[in-house]
Amino acid sequence: MTVVDTTAASTELATVQEPAGALGLLSIAIKSGLPVESIEKLVILHREEQDRAAQREFARALAEFQETCPSVPKTSTAKIVTKSGTDFGYAYAELDQIAETVGPHLHKLGFSYSWDSVQEGGTMRVVCKLRHRDGHRETATFAAPVDASGAMSAVQRTASALTYARRQSLVQALGLTTTEPDTDAGMRDSDPITEEQAADLESLLTEVKANRNKFLDFVGVKALSDIPQSQYVAAVRALERKRALPSAPPSQPAPPASARPMCSQSGCTAESSGINADGTHRCRAHLTARGGRA
């Protein structure tokens, strides 16, 4: 184990003005001709000190961003039509709307972001990387299913899942909130769904042959009209996932009695219980009498 002698460094610090911290000690160590091993340890110490400082600045800048950045308005509406023709909609904030809202605040504080993505089977997995100019970065991951139903092409379904995962991972990385447009008629997420939305769920329940009681327990309410706005989209997606599940194969009926072997004894209408000594089918009574095997 190599011990760094800082006695000379401390003496030098008394007479020479050098930068404080690990960088100052590193400068003095080089001038003092300390061994390479000691200098390497000081380099590692300097890098660790830089990393901690970058983490502190990242946390400070992110806190300032979250304090000053406004909520992102939900200015877009998604319209979904089920196979039965029932349609429903919900408000959301598109990715470009989020970028336009947060961009000026992020850039002023030295933030930038990018994504990495990979498709694994029927799932699109996206990693959002949030970087700060001082070098620290953090990531947020979001996985979105690639919907196999609907009228979109395979490329459109993949692009839709990619955009959705990018939007949600960015919201997660930045700790954003999205809000309904600020109008007098706007509803809060805690408000119950409308009568029209409840009717849409009722149609979906019937269409996918879902168990009503199990569905209500899943959502955590006693009636469809009690479902809050914040859970409406999740409720619809849960029912749509049930539609995508494969149906159980129909049970096979038992073979008819006429397909079973009958006793070969003349005049007997009983079913066979085994093979007789002469190789013919016999019922229990005739099998026993002729010494056959069951």
| Structural domain for 61, as ranges | 7-68
Query: 46 and 113 in one domain?
Result: no
Query: 95 and 169 in one domain?
Result: yes
Query: 132 and 31 in one domain?
Result: no
Query: Which range, of 104-108, 173-177, 189-193, 196-200, averages the lowest pLDDT?
Result: 189-193
pLDDT score, position 220: 85
Judged by phi (left if over 0) then psi (alpha if -120 to 50, else beta), residue 21 lies in: left
What is the rounded CA–CA span in Å between residue 12 and residue 4?
A: 15
Query: 168 and 86 in one domain?
Result: yes
Instruction: Please state the domain count of the chain.
Output: 4
Query: 205 and 168 in one domain?
Result: no
pLDDT level of residue 152 (50, 70, 90 thresholds):
confident
Q: What is the mean pLDDT of the chain?
A: 76
Query: 97 and 154 in one domain?
Result: yes
Helices (H) and strands (E) in the chain, counts: 9, 9
Among 184, 200, 234, the domain-final residue is: 184
Q: Give the CA distances from residue 76 to residues 15, 186, 286, in Å, rounded to whole numbers and listed in that order.
A: 66, 14, 82
Q: Kindly state whether residue 254 falls inside one of the protein's structural domains.
A: no
- More reliable by pLDDT, 141 or 146: 141
pLDDT digits (tens, 9 = 90+) for 28-65: 767 777 676 766 776 777 788 888 999 999 999 999 99
Query: 200 and 172 in one domain?
Result: no
The domain that holds 95 is classified in CATH as: 3.30.160
Query: Which range, of 2-6, 164-168, 264-268, averages the lowest pLDDT?
Result: 2-6
Query: 239 and 208 in one domain?
Result: yes
pLDDT digits (tens, 9 = 90+) for 216-263: 888 888 888 888 877 887 788 778 777 656 555 555 555 555 556 777
